[in-house]
């Protein structure tokens, strides 16, 4: 008999709980895994300094975060989406179609992308052109467009060590890949004159760009779909490898990694802030203004995030590896005024 009683009471519990699902009282954040550590640092500081619960921060990537963000407005949807690239037009349209209209875009700072080898490897001083010539599927040799056959770095540039080419680059689902292609491979393509040669060989502009960013598939460029910890363990198991990392990840693992320079500039928060180090990108988060009135602590959390004590050059985020935004004051004003995207 007890089984029957159990079942009945259990069903009663579900029924009661479904109706009693109380209003959500903590901020929900999702999105980019690059922004995740910064977001958790701020969430933690927010929770211990304010009388609000600590925001819940999920990761999963910029794309999936924005997708969840654009599902609609209401307590069952997230309040903030972290992004390591600006929102795309298509995503904006999905948002509008689902009634997510008043969106605040907040730029929190910049993230550097660095190239690092195992600590025992020789020093590398790259230029974007070296990366293009090492990894692109088609390169220009003596004015001719040929398949890339370079096996060692010194074949690409005599100034580099005679080490086998093996690069662990972020997979295509990462926002970092886009920056890598645009700021390193494409820049190197133009710098080395290969772009002109591609156009001269009869391609139009788009096809030439496509040819620049098509990477070789003979195992020299390895896509890493996991996160930086996977790249690190790949480098530890194959000491000839060179990995692409976020600056903050490198700064937490300087005992295992050695960073290469780009155009003679060593990446650091200073050289990235001054613009000397070329490979960086802005980090954002997007907020639903419609949730400000509904979710307790949301406006306070957004203001807390961009406050000088947190996102400023002496704050904990900069300490962790975020390059603080020189225009932080403008962002603070926009947040205070509640300016939404047009």
Partner 1 sequence: MTDDPDHKPASLLQQDARTKARNAAEKRFRWYGIIAIAISMIALVVLLATILTAGAGAFRQTYLNIPVTLDPAVLDPKGNRDPAEMAKVLTLSYGRVLDAAVEATVARHGIRIEGLSDKDIDGLISKEASAQVRDRVLAEPDLVGQTVEFDVLTGGRIDGYFKGRVTMDSAARDSNTSPAQLQLAQELANRGEIVTRFNWNFLRLADASDQRPEAAGVGAAIVGSFYMMLVVLFLAVPIGVAASIYLEEFAPKNRWTDIIEVNISNLAAVPSIVFGILGLAAFINFAGLPQSAPIVGGLVLTLMTLPRIIIPTRAALKAVPPSIRDAALGVGASRMQSVFHHVLPLATPGILTGMILGLAQALGETAPLLLIGMVAFIRDIPSGLPQGLFDPASALPVQVYNWTQRSDPAFIERASGAIIVLLVFLLCMNVLAIWLRRKFERRW
Please give the residue ranges that form the binding site for partner 1 (CB under 8 A).
1, 3-4, 6-7, 10, 13-14, 17-18, 20-22, 24, 26, 28, 30, 33, 36-37, 39-41, 43-45, 47-49, 51, 53-54, 56-60, 75-76, 78, 119, 227-229, 248-249, 251-256, 309, 316, 319-320
Q: Which is nearer to partner 1, 206 or 314 (CB)?
A: 314
- Cα atoms in the 13 Å half-sphere on the side-chain side of 323: 23
CB of 241 to partner 1, least distance (A): 18
**Nearer to partner 1 (CB atom), residue 248 or residue 331:** 248
Minimum CB separation from partner 1 for residue 319, in Å? 8
Question: CB–CB of 320/41 below 8 Å?
Answer: yes
Cα dihedral value 207, 212, 214, 220, nearest 10: 160
288: tokens are: 């639903």
What is the H or E stretch that residue 18 is in?
A: helix 2-20
How many whole angstroms separate alpha carbon 211 and alpha carbon 304? 45
CA 302 to chain centre: 20
Q: How far is the CB of 252 from partner 1 (least distance, A)?
A: 4
Nearer to partner 1 by Cβ, of 51 and 142: the residue is 51
Which three-class secondary structure state does DSSP give residue 5? helix
- 47/63 with CB nearer partner 1: 47
Which is nearer to partner 1, 70 or 211 (by Cβ)? 70
Residue placing its CB nearer to partner 1 in the complex, 25 or 196: 25
Q: For the beta carbon of residue 239, count every other beta carbon within 10 angstroms.
A: 13
In whole angstroms, the minimum distance from the beta carbon of 247 to partner 1 comes to 11
Residue with tokens 């007890």: 2
Sign of CA dihedral 222, 39, 286, 20: positive
CB-CB contact of 66 with 286 (8 Å): yes
- Given a contact cutoff of 8 angstroms between Cβ atoms, the answer to whether 294 and 305 are in contact is no
Q: How far is the CB of 24 from partner 1 (least distance, A)?
A: 6
Smallest distance from partner 1 to CB 56, Å = 5
């Amino acid at each position: 008999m007890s089984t029957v009683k159990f079942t009945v009471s259990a069903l009663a519990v579900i029924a009661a709980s479904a109706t009693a699902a109380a209003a959500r009282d903590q901020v929900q954040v999702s999105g980019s895994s690059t922004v995740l550590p910064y977001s958790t640092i701020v969430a933690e500081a927010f929770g211990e300094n304010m009388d609000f619960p600590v925001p819940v921060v999920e990761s999963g990537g910029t794309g999936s975060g924005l997708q969840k963000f654009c599902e609609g407005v209401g307590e069952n949807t997230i309040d903030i989406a972290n992004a390591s690239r600006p929102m795309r037009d298509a995503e904006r349209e999905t948002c509008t179609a689902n009634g997510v209209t008043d969106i605040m875009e907040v730029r929190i700072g910049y993230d550097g992308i660095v190239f690092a080898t195992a600590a025992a490897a020789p020093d590398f001083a790259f230029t974007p052109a070296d990366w293009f010539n090492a990894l692109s599927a088609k390169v220009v040799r003596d004015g001719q467009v040929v398949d890339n056959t370079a096996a060692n770095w010194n074949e690409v540039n005599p100034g580099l060590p005679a080490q086998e080419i093996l690069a662990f680059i972020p997979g295509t689902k990462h926002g970092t890949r886009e920056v890598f292609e645009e700021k390193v491979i494409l820049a190197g393509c133009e710098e080395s004159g290969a772009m002109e040669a591609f156009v001269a060989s009869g391609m139009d502009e788009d096809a030439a760009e496509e040819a620049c960013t098509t990477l070789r598939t003979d195992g020299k460029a390895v896509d890493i779909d996991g996160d930086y910890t996977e790249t690190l363990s790949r480098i530890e198991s194959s000491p000839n490898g060179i990995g692409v990392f976020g600056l903050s990840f490198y700064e937490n693992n300087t005992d295992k990694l050695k960073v290469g320079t780009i155009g003679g500039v060593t990446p650091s928060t200073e050289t990235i802030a001054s613009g000397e180090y070329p490979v960086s990108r802005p980090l954002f988060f997007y907020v639903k203004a419609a949730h400000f009135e509904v979710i307790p602590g949301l406006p306070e959390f957004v203001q807390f995030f961009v406050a000088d004590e947190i996102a400023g050059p002496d704050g904990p985020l900069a300490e962790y590896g975020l390059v603080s935004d020189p225009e932080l004051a403008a962002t603070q004003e926009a947040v205070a005024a509640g300016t939404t995207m047009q």
